[in-house]
Amino acid sequence: MECAHYDAGRCRSCTLLPLSSHVRVRRSQAEIARLLAQATTASGAVSADCPVPESAIASGTPPTSTSGGATGIRWLPPATGPDAGFRNKAKMVVSGTVDAPVFGILDDAGAGIDLRDCPLYPQAIHRLLDAVPALIRRAQIPPYDVARRRGELKHLIITVNDAGELMVRFVLRTPKPVERIREHLSVLTAAVPGVRVVSANIHPQHSALLEGAEEIHIAGDRHLPMRQGRVSLQVLPRSFVQTNTAVAGQLYEQVAEWADEIEARHRLGTADSRPGGTGAADTGSPGAGGGDGALRIWDLYCGVGGFALHLAAPGRAVTGVEVSAEAIASAQAAAAEAGLTADFVVADASDWAGEQDVLPDVVVVNPPRRGIGALAGWLEGSGICDVIYSSCNPRSLARDLKQMPSYQVTAARMLDMFPHTAHAEVVVQLRRTTEAA
């Protein structure tokens, strides 16, 4: 990817831009493999209640470690996407003046650096950023001056879907400009077709936080539909959604494929893959599939339902758990629109799991960067056979795996979710063994 801002030294957010994508991805996977090799201690045969899944002998990269020895991990080819125009969300600091607003970042002296033409973003976001200054001038919305703690418009947050439709959020110090934005919004919508959601976020504190707690709807729909993989998600203004749509789709499809393999084994009756016999909770609740043979799946930290909606299917009982009520509302709306059956619960994932009397066949976790914390210990003692862990922080994944010594990583895939940076997504398939080293 070519970037004039990087070449000029104005922005170095893409810290690994000089590396070719091939080299960067290869190095990233090698580092993740090293972390997993250090963290995974499970040994011995897979539990008799948890037979080896067919995926462990399916096609893919032979299990190897960075030191050349076998690890039992089958590495699938990395999931990649475009190296430019891939990012579906722009978070711009607003500086400058009413007559000459600047969208981008601040330099060390607090002056604005204009990044409206940042090549990470698709053309729909570029067009929007070019059109917003006219609205700011017409509505007389002064950009926030960090040094003086004066002004109104702190940030501009833009999200675009695969159809080029846009969600625009004005992060304001006070609600005072809201009515002026509403009055003059046609200046923006006439210039940029496809503006579907407009809102204001009220952020009165002088802090480095991106946004505040209050959201005010200004115009258009309440949510932005966004297709990732085979499902159209319903994204509300404060919802988290994967920012790389092409790679996110591959992540969801990978997890769905692993779930299909587990279900095939479950249906063939090669073994009862449910936990049992060691004091694990009862697995016969009609509310979770009961004794009808349904595959029971928990999607913990489910967000707007990306994994749960890809896993929902006839013959399955899928439950998504997320602490954000807004995200759960989005997931429920998406499920209804797609005609999918899944239950969604507003709760802390770790607390909720510990309160259940009926355990699932499969647990999918997709935690924030800090990892799953105490939930790792709960999973270790649960007797659950299959866990799929999607992580945006391989180091916290490795730390969590050290608390789950009875699980073996049987398959893994690196996903290039954050091109040109040292950040990476990795998803691993875990299988319970009979003993821990």
Residue 388 sits at φ, ψ, to 5 deg, of -120, 125
CA dihedral 242, 248, 251, 255 (to 10 degrees): 70
What beta strand segments (E) does 147-288 contain?
153-160, 166-172, 195-202, 214-220, 224-228, 231-235
DSSP for 62-76, please give it: PP--TTSS--S-EEP
What beta strand segments (E) does 221-302 contain?
224-228, 231-235, 295-300
Decide: 349 and 337 in contact? Cβ < 8 Å.
Answer: no
- Helical (H) or strand (E) element with 127: helix 123-139
DSSP for 17-52, please give it: TTS-HHHHHHHHHHHHHHHHHHH--EEEEEPTTSPP
**Between 394-402 and 21-39, two packed helices, what is the crossing angle to 10 degrees?**
20
Catalytic residue among 11, 118, 302, 392: 392
Question: What is the distance between the alpha carbons of residues 393 and 426, in angstroms, rounded to a whole number?
Answer: 8
Question: What is the distance between the alpha carbons of residues 127 and 145, in angstroms, rounded to a whole number?
Answer: 25
Q: Is 392 a catalytic residue?
A: yes
Please list the active-site residues: 392
